[in-house]
Structure 1
Amino acid sequence: MSTSRVLDFINGFRNSIAYLTSIIITIYVVLGLAAVTLEINTLPGVLDFLDFDQPDTARTLLSTLMAGMISLLVFSFSTVMSVLTQAGSNFSNKLVFGIMTEKRHQQVLGHYLGTILYLLILLLVPTIGDTPDTWRSLAVYLGAAMVINSLAMFVFFIHGTSQSVQINAITQGLLVSTQLSLDKLRKKQASDEYRHRPDGCQPVTGYPVYSRDSGYIQGVNFSALARIARHHEIAIHLGFTFGDFVVKKFPILDIEADAAPGDVLVDRILACLEYVEGESTRDHYVNGLTQLMEVAIKALSPGINDPGTARLCIHQMTELLSQRLTLTPPNMLVDDDGRCLISWHEESFESLMFRVFDPILHYGGQDLSICLSLLKAFKTMSNFAKDDDHRVIQAHTDRVIQHMADHFTAPLEVAFIEARLTRGLHRLHINVRLPERSASS
């Protein structure tokens, strides 16, 4: 197995729901093995009152605790899956995967399964003698304490899960995680190693490298990749945009070098690629924007018909895109002499605007409140935009205004719209009257 495949497996396991769960389960199993294998006869005599007098009392208690834990596990997670299924049908299935992989849910699952395994170990290994000694009795009481801890976690688990599927919590979570991704981008921009070149960094003599796995590439290990480029005096040009889905045996990068790279070098470079199952908003801010857009258009579907949720998503996207306008995302990493080591593609603001707002206008264009929310969003973003980005925002603004002129023609609607066309602080060129209807309408 190659190094890249080993690293991909490790990263995949660490990002899965089984990682933290497995660690917690291991702790419980170790406690259970310690309880049945160790023989400690030097415990203080004051603890003798904890000994079980009857031989079957401990096993009966453990059996009851075991049955209760299994019932609790089945009930809690069947309830959670029902809630998450409803959330997935109302918002987006991508959000369900993100909720289930949260660390707090992994912790609860680990404590539940760990407690069951601990009790099972005590049941499988018989006690020495007619009644359990003090050490084994303490182990039984510890099992009871674990069950009580699981009951307390059950209450907080149900409460947290019910809160996590509220639309305000979902959009706020997407906003926070996407802001963290933008903060990483802001730190790169402030670094001297990262630069932005409008035309990118094109290879002079490029040797293509083909992918060996399929999946979403959310990022790369820039530090490791830069060390490789410096050591071998090469330049690495990534041929994909972060967040893209790539298939096997597809050319994903070019190596600018005097001679063709060997298999060892290619393996080291491919090992720096970070594959993630699904779309990570913490690693790539575009995923947060697109997920907010998907929640918005799902809310605008006839089966749900919730324009309020769509407007909330538009507000969150406005906040994120306003922050994006203040950044110039770097697309190359250079050495101390300014030589290009790594280059990659960054999605332009024009592409982002069309990607996140065009579907909302398409599916929600018949709702006046959605059109006015889009207009308000463009007004807000215009205060942060530079010349090129300002022209993009102006074009989308003109499109929304023309759309309203074509579809809302009643005198009451026209008066309502025109009263709000120029309202608010903005840097857009907007007439105080709606334009004439287009010929196609």
Structure 2
Amino acid sequence: MRAFLSWPIHLLKAYRQSIAYLPSLLALAYAFLSLIALLLPISDDRLPTLLTMLGLEAPEDTLPLLVALLGGMISLMVFSFSMVMSVLSQAGGQFSHKLVFGLISERPHQWVLGHYLGTILFILMLMMVPNVADGQATWRSLAIYLACAMVIHCLALFVYFIHKASQSIQIDAVVTDLHQSTLASMQVLQSQQQGQEWRILAVAASSGHRHYPVHARRAGYLQNADLSALAALAHRVDGVVHLHFRFGDYVVKGLPILSLEAASPPEASWCDEVRATLTYVEGESITEHHVFGLTQLMEVAVKALSPGINDPGTARLCLHRLTDLLGRRLEWQPCNSLFDRDGTCRLTWKVEDFESLLYRLFQPILRYGREDLSIGLGVLKALKTLSLFAEEKDLETLQAHADRVVETLSQAADHPLDRRFVSARLDDGIHRLTLPRVLPGRQDT
């Protein structure tokens, strides 16, 4: 029953995250306005004199004007979105193809598309009912004036749309948007995990009961889950639910995605309710999982370091944003278990630790930028900054990465001038790492 009721909720959530959400709402609003203009006419004697003076003598003869407005709006919409798709395809080649859908689905772009579609729909409705009853010419004239005002409004939106589209593909705007979206996702998760029931377990305690697996019924990206609902389901059968995947993983059909640790096996209906709490989202949703924002920043940096683009400045810009996000990640560690009111663990899940996250983000940048000394120094500077926020365990991880960066710099610096430049910046600044004052001798491999 719960699975059946959750289906409309998931459908509504998918609709709200789609490109068609705002355009469809605005189109419905314009359609409702056109119905008011056509089905609820007001006679001229009930309108103020000033409005009746603006009325057209023969509103039914304005069909050529409406045809011209409609053709112009269709041309405007086609030109706008052919232009933006061309620009975004170029941006996908320069940054990352994962960003293209996010740029075209931005709320301002959806608002513009909604006004375009709504204006076209409003004009079409006026053209479908060209005849005007006697004594209602002013009311139809006002609707025609409104259609002209809508077209003028869309022309202003066209200028705004071009400006917004051109701004959205600039690297500063792309990186800033990724940074803000990731930070907002982290803050939402942090606010959700408030209270004593959310805890961090190094090793999940075992009750000694048997583990009963629950298999996936479909393939896709498991981005999130209703953890509170899962804990309540585990409490109902007096067991513990263990998730065997990390949020954001791709699972195949039939994979044991979780298990129930209990005295008796669960019923089929209980398993269906558990599956209904899982959130499948195609692609990488930063809103659902903040790690995707970090990896997309890394991918933009790696793409910028490719020989075809060769833009180390963009890579350094991404490094700055990653440093800020990882610093906030060091100050707060996500929980991996949920307890009930009695203090009994009811749910555990996997959380990627800082060591794994640091390797996934920094090593690809260091690998693809190993020939550029500025990239190596940028990674080293990021590690120095992170060392000021790290505890002892994480400090050891940062030290190991710093040693590798120093080794990479030693291999890349051939000329004595390069080695002198790098050596002057190895131990520079405030940090907690152990770094040499002079770049070690190059080791031939």
* TM-score normalised by the chain length of structure 1: 0.95
Q: For the Cα contact (< 8 Å) 1:51–1:132, is it kept in 2?
A: no
| CA–CA distance in structure 2, aligned partners of residues 263 and 138 of structure 1 | 62
Amino acid at match of 1:64: A
Offset at residue 4 of structure 1 (A): 5.3
| CA–CA distance in structure 2, aligned partners of residues 272 and 83 of structure 1 | 39
| CA–CA distance in structure 2, aligned partners of residues 174 and 286 of structure 1 | 11
Partner of 1:58: 62
Q: For the Cα contact (< 8 Å) 2:182–2:287, is it kept in 1?
A: yes
Partner of 2:130: 126
| CA–CA distance in structure 1, aligned partners of residues 22 and 195 of structure 2 | 34
| CA–CA distance in structure 2, aligned partners of residues 214 and 47 of structure 1 | 61
Matched, 1:367 2:383: no
Q: How does 1:245-394 map to 2 (within 5 A)?
A: 245-394=250-399
Offset at residue 278 of structure 1 (A): 1.6
Matched, 1:217 2:222: yes
Partner of 2:234: 229
Offset at residue 189 of structure 1 (A): 5.0
Two-structure CA RMSD over aligned residues (Å): 1.9
Please state whether the residue corresponding to 2:348 is helix, strand or coil.
strand
Alpha-carbon spacing, 1:263–1:142, altered in 2? closer, same or farther (3 Å): farther
Offset at residue 110 of structure 1 (A): 0.9
Offset at residue 190 of structure 1 (A): 4.1
Q: For the Cα contact (< 8 Å) 1:55–1:132, is it kept in 2?
A: no
Offset at residue 277 of structure 1 (A): 2.4
Aligned-pair identity in percent equals 50
Q: Deviations over 1:335-359 (max 9, x none)?
A: 1222112110000111011101111
Aligned length: 440
Partner of 2:170: 166
* TM-score normalised by the chain length of structure 2: 0.94
Partner of 1:182: 186
Q: For the Cα contact (< 8 Å) 2:42–2:136, is it kept in 1?
A: no
Offset at residue 327 of structure 1 (A): 1.4
Alpha-carbon spacing, 1:382–1:55, altered in 2? closer, same or farther (3 Å): closer
Stretches of structure 2 lacking an aligned partner (at least 5 in a row): none
Q: For the Cα contact (< 8 Å) 1:208–1:254, is it kept in 2?
A: yes
Offset at residue 405 of structure 1 (A): 1.2
| CA–CA distance in structure 1, aligned partners of residues 204 and 181 of structure 2 | 28
Stretches of structure 1 lacking an aligned partner (at least 5 in a row): none
| CA–CA distance in structure 2, aligned partners of residues 316 and 39 of structure 1 | 57
Matched, 1:46 2:31: no
Partner of 1:75: 79
Q: Deviations over 1:27-77 (max 9, x none)?
A: 111111222222322333432222222455421221111111111101111
Q: How does 1:120-159 map to 2 (within 5 A)?
A: 120-129=124-133, 133-159=137-163
Offset at residue 7 of structure 1 (A): 3.9
| CA–CA distance in structure 2, aligned partners of residues 437 and 260 of structure 1 | 61
Q: For the Cα contact (< 8 Å) 1:7–1:271, is it kept in 2?
A: no
Amino acid at match of 1:424: G
| CA–CA distance in structure 1, aligned partners of residues 205 and 131 of structure 2 | 72
| CA–CA distance in structure 1, aligned partners of residues 230 and 356 of structure 2 | 28
Moved more, 243-252 or 117-126: 243-252
Q: 2:438 aligns with which of 419, 433, 439?
A: 433
Please state whether the residue corresponding to 2:425 is helix, strand or coil.
coil
| CA–CA distance in structure 2, aligned partners of residues 246 and 141 of structure 1 | 56
Matched, 1:208 2:224: no
Q: For the Cα contact (< 8 Å) 1:300–1:306, is it kept in 2?
A: yes
| CA–CA distance in structure 1, aligned partners of residues 193 and 405 of structure 2 | 33
Q: Deviations over 1:187-237 (max 9, x none)?
A: 345421210011235574222111222222221122333333333433221
Please state whether the residue corresponding to 1:419 is helix, strand or coil.
helix
Q: For the Cα contact (< 8 Å) 2:92–2:99, is it kept in 1?
A: yes
Q: For the Cα contact (< 8 Å) 1:350–1:392, is it kept in 2?
A: yes
Q: 1:22 aligns with which of 21, 24, 35?
A: 24
